[in-house]
Chain A
Amino acid sequence: MKQKQDPHQQLPLTPAVFHILLVLVDGECHGYGVMQEVTARSEGRVSLGPGTLYGAFKRLLANGLIEEAGERYDPKLSDERRRYYRLTDFGLRVAQAEAQRLAQLVHLAQSKPGLLDPELGLGGM
């Protein structure tokens, strides 16, 4: 019988890894697509180089959080075949657990009046 892994054992995730998982929550994507999405969603604050991206892919594959989804062309890019990746069920559970962990942290921060700063937007959350 297959035993379920505990997603909490994978936490905390690095910001880069969490961003990658968030992109893959929306569906299969290839490496450059992930790089572009991460930059766009973080409004340029997080930018992944190829080494960081594929190092993270290697570890996510090894830990069973993502899996390869074959090679195909992306009509929006050049006429090269690209390797796609998708989230596994376990990867989804890890992303959910990390989101919950971060939400709890934000909730804790919001309970500290000294941290409420309208300029940072924390008080309004």
Chain B
Amino acid sequence: MPSYLILVASDCIYRLLLRAYPANFRRDYGRDMEQCFRDACRDACRRHGVLGVVGLWISTLFDLANTAVSEHISEVTHMSPENIVHQWSEGSVRERLKGHISILEADGYINGHGGEAILGVCEQLIKKERQHFVLNMEKLRLVNSLGISKLQETLAMVRKLGGKVAFCGVSPTITKTFGIMGLLDTADIFDAEDQAVTSMEGK
């Protein structure tokens, strides 16, 4: 079999095998892992021919079996209720990382308690040297004026410490409330999370 066919076939098979990883992990690193494997395959083929590719496949399958299991375990741990960063009676906020940016996913209803919770989460994360936040509101139903005043407080606190805050997935109803409370004039608001992250990374 010509070497380019071996490389193409290996690439396709590895891409299929990547499905063994959790969806979130694949979304964040799948493309890069595929790229790494493709590079490694090309080098192995150039240096040692077909036998090199076979050797690479053996080590890659061990790597894949071990790490796919550990990533699933890590995913389950992350999704368990104990790992929700903060809950209040009408909602919750959960944190995950995208690059060096903390994504805060809020759901339910942000009232004064919810706003206080988000402020507290940001304070905790700042202590861990995380300064940039995207507040994803796709799953959020409502936010009241007390919640917004706490969000304004969060915004001011983060900016004072040199960090950034952006909002995304804001529904028309919430956008209207933001407008009434004057948050539209000061906050960076994006349709999608990726747009917010890209803007924050300065790409």
B80 at interface, CB cutoff 8 A: no
Q: A57-B29, A58-B28 are in contact. Are A51 and B39 (CB under 8 A)?
A: no
Residues of the A chain whose Cβ atoms lie less than 8 Å from the Cβ of B126:
2
Residues of the A chain whose Cβ atoms lie less than 8 Å from the Cβ of B59:
47, 49
9 contacts across the A-B interface (CB closer than 8 A) = A1-B161, A2-B127, A2-B129, A31-B36, A32-B39, A32-B40, A47-B59, A50-B33, A61-B99
Known: A31-B33, A50-B36. 14 other contacts (CB 8 A): A2-B131, A5-B128, A31-B36, A49-B60, A50-B40, A51-B71, A52-B67, A54-B32, A55-B70, A55-B71, A82-B32, A82-B35, A83-B32, A90-B129
A62 at interface, CB cutoff 8 A: yes
Q: A58-B25, A62-B97 are in contact. Are A68 and B201 (CB under 8 A)?
A: yes
Residue of A with least CB distance to B34: A50
B63 at interface, CB cutoff 8 A: yes
A42 to B70, CA, bound (A): 25
Interface size class of A (residues with CB under 8 A): 20 to 34
A106 to B71, CA, bound (A): 33
Q: How far is the CB of A16 from chain B (nearest CB, A)?
A: 11
Quick one: which of A54-89 are within 8 Å of B by CB? 54-55, 57-58, 61-62, 64, 67-68, 70, 77-78, 80, 82-83, 88
**B28 touching A49 by the CB < 8 A rule?**
no
A114 to B100, CA, bound (A): 47
**A35 touching B40 by the CB < 8 A rule?**
yes
Q: Return the CB mask of B11-36 against A: 1 if under 8 Å, else 0.
A: 00000000001000100110011111
Residues of the A chain whose Cβ atoms lie less than 8 Å from the Cβ of B161:
1-2
Most central of A47, A50, A55 by chain B CB within 10 Å: A50
**B33 touching A51 by the CB < 8 A rule?**
yes
Number of residues on chain B facing chain A (CB within 8 A): 34
B64 at interface, CB cutoff 8 A: yes
Residue of B with least CB distance to A64: B129
Residues of the A chain whose Cβ atoms lie less than 8 Å from the Cβ of B71:
51, 55
A47 to B36, CA, bound (A): 13
A78 to B42, CA, bound (A): 10
**A49 touching B129 by the CB < 8 A rule?**
no
Residue of B with least CB distance to A78: B39
A1 to B129, CA, bound (A): 11
Most central of B32, B33, B97 by chain A CB within 10 Å: B32
